[in-house]
Structure 1
Amino acid sequence: MMRVRQIALTAAVAFIAGVAGVVIGNELGSGATAERVATVSAIIHGSLDLTPSQQETLDRIEARYAVRRSELEAAMRASNAALAEAMREDQAYSPRVRAAIEDFHVAMSALQAATIRHVFELRAELTPEQAEIFDAEIVRALADASE
């Protein structure tokens, strides 16, 4: 009887830890994306001397990306919800758990690719001098984020 209780307690703790990991990972992932977007926006609007035409074009690009980012973040949240449900119901590293993890990774990868495409789309609207400043700031921001 004591053995069954220990196994049940271990399973419950493992499940709670798994769900907590999913929730924390989702929060950190979203925050990191939001922080990178804020950094790119700050570089564009703070470090560069933009013309009114550039400003208008970049604002349109940023608005379009904000919609796409929101869609992909929603997909990540949905994948995390599916993962939590699968973990709760299956209580094992089941095919449903693996599928939910894969779905999350697909959405996360798509968000990363969309963000990188967004950076290059913004860069394409800059003069060579502005692009040089932009590149240096982006490299610095990425290096800071990796520390």
Structure 2
Amino acid sequence: MHLNTSGAGIVGMLTGFYTVAPTLGIIHIVSGQSAINLFITYECSALIELAAYIALVLFFPFFKNLQQRLKLLGFGVIYLLLANMLRLTVTALIIHFLGLPSLIWAHVIVGRLIFYVLTIILYFYVFTRSQVLHIKIGRFDFKTGGA
């Protein structure tokens, strides 16, 4: 939670559109005459998605060795953290510019849409692509594109 709040706070610090309290997991957004605090909880911190990704990498049968798994773990965890920071930043910016009435759709729809589209892209490259590359039909395989 602290890492996500700090990462999302970079844009707020540079623009002055919002401030963060990383130790508390809070993003403070001022919009016109109103203000709101977003509390970054477990759901907002992407911990559930990180745990699912880690478990899949550890037990997915198509990875060759521990080194490949560790490389994918490092890349994926950093990727998901950055994707979540982007989600929080976009949510905070929408609320800053469009006001408090935009909170629900900014957080629930736009923010999650950004995060889950980025997650699907990661999953495609890490899991789907690696599985497709292992498919072999007769003498044809996808790695070489032919026999």
Instruction: State the TM-score, normalizing by the size of structure 1.
Output: 0.44
Instruction: Specify which structure has the bigger relative contact order, considering alpha-carbon pairs within 8 angstroms and separated by 6 or more residues.
Output: 1
Between Structure 1 and Structure 2, which shows a larger proportion of helix residues?
Answer: 1
**Which has the greater radius of gyration?**
1
Between Structure 1 and Structure 2, which shows a larger proportion of strand residues?
Answer: 2
